[in-house]
Structure formats: structure tokens, C-alpha cells
Chain A
Amino acid sequence: GEDVEQSLFLSVREGDSSVINCTYTDSSSTYLYWYKQEPGAGLQLLTYIFSNMDMKQDQRLTVLLNKKDKHLSLRIADTQTGDSAIYFCAEPLGSARQLTFGSGTQLTVLP
């Protein structure tokens, strides 16, 4: 496909792990990003992964990259209520490497 795709909704219980999936479009993308957006706010860069990596871990966040399938995932361990937000994956496309975003996944953490 030509779009960066994400599932729209994910609900988990507090303390469980969350896994948010993304399918991107350009196998030559050098970096792939995960952003977090809380209600009414801008985007916060959570983490990114370089294309020559399969996995990157940063505290509670783990990013997995499958270049063959152009699949990216974000795992949040021990999910907390403060993690409730919309999560966007993004890849740089175009001559200016402008970011193209997925549809966003609304993560709801239930107590």
C-alpha cells in the first residue's frame, strides 16, 4: 500500500504490556519514528529506530523493526494510565524527508 497504516484503537489494563503496530511504505527509509500525542497537545518524540537495527529498547519502550515486511511495532511495558494517548508512527518521505504519519492508534489504559 501507499499509506502508513496503523490500527485505530487499543485498550489494555494497567500494568499489562501494550503493542502498537505499524506498516510503513518505503523500505529505504533510514529512520522510523514513534510519536505520542496527548489530547489537545502537539507531538512528543518517543523514540526512533535506525533501519539497520532490528530492535531498540529504551526503558519501558521497545521498538521492533522487520524490514522485510516493512513492519514496525512499539511495545510499552507496564502500561500506566499516563500512557493513554494517540501514538503515531512516521517515516521520512520526499526530498525534504518530511514525515508521513500513520493514522494514529488511540491507546486507552483501563484501571
Chain B
Amino acid sequence: GAVVSQHPSRVICKSGTSVKIECRSLDFQATTMFWYRQFPKQSLMLMATSNEGSKATYEQGVEKDKFLINHASLTLSTLTVTSAHPEDSSFYICSARDRRPLGTEAFFGQGTRLTVV
């Protein structure tokens, strides 16, 4: 199947700093990428939908100034957690959908475990 690479897999940062997470589709082009957040023992909650070349669409309750999303190319989207605080500690997962007409599956990155101390 298609491969989505997410980097880094784990990061520990100090409170007040910013962290950038990258999501790459390695063998397909993705016009749309999605960013999810997952708290321990909970389901995935969609944070935002990232469209190549345009502004991201954020879900209700997600601060767009805190979670900056950039989708500069058909293979790369980034999520920057700005001025991170301990409550931002979570598991962040991206997914990408192949742009081909029959590409209905969404493929997921391996996730990024963010710990803010």
C-alpha cells in the first residue's frame, strides 16, 4: 500500500517552544492531508484538513494560531505547535489521500508522540 512518512516519531520539548511535525506521502500525490490528535486510550480527533496551496480548514475548537499547518506541495504537509504547553502533549497523526480518482483510502503516518515539559 501507499506510504506516509511522519517525522519525528517522538519529541520532547520545553514549555513555550515550538515544534514542527512533517508528514510526507512517499509514493503518491496527496492534494488533501489530515491532521489528527489522539489522547491516551481515546479515538482520533480531527484537528484540521490541509489542502495543497490553500489555507487549512480547522475543526471547531482547534486554535489555528496555535496549530499552524502548511501544505506547500503535493507530498508534504507540516504541523507546527507554537508556544507548546504541557496540555499539548499528545499523539499527533497525519493522513493523506491519494489524488487518483479511485483513491478512496486514507493512509496514515506512524504518528508523533509530543511531550511538553
Question: Which residues in A have some Cβ–Cβ distance to B below 8 Å?
Answer: 30-31, 33, 35, 40-45, 48, 88, 92, 94, 96-104
Binds A, one of B13-21, B67-75, B81-89, B107-115: B107-115
Judge if B24 is at the interface, Cβ distance under 8 Å: no
Instruction: Check if B43 sits within 8 Å of A102, measured CB to CB.
Output: yes
* B22-51 Cβ-contact flags toward A at 8 Å (1 or 0): 000000000010100000001110100101
- Determine how close the nearest CB of chain B comes to the CB of A11; give it in whole angstroms: 16
**Cβ-neighbour of A45 out of B32, B42, B105, B111 (below 8 A):** B105
CB neighbours of B43 from chain A (8 A): 88, 101-104
Interface centre among A31, A98, A100, by most B CB within 10 Å? A98
Residue total for B at the interface (Cβ-Cβ under 8 A): 23
CB neighbours of B42 from chain A (8 A): 103-104
Instruction: Check if A99 sits within 8 Å of B34, measured CB to CB.
Output: yes
Instruction: Check if A99 sits within 8 Å of B109, measured CB to CB.
Output: no
**Cβ-neighbour of B113 out of A40, A98, A102 (below 8 A):** A40
Judge if B95 is at the interface, Cβ distance under 8 Å: yes
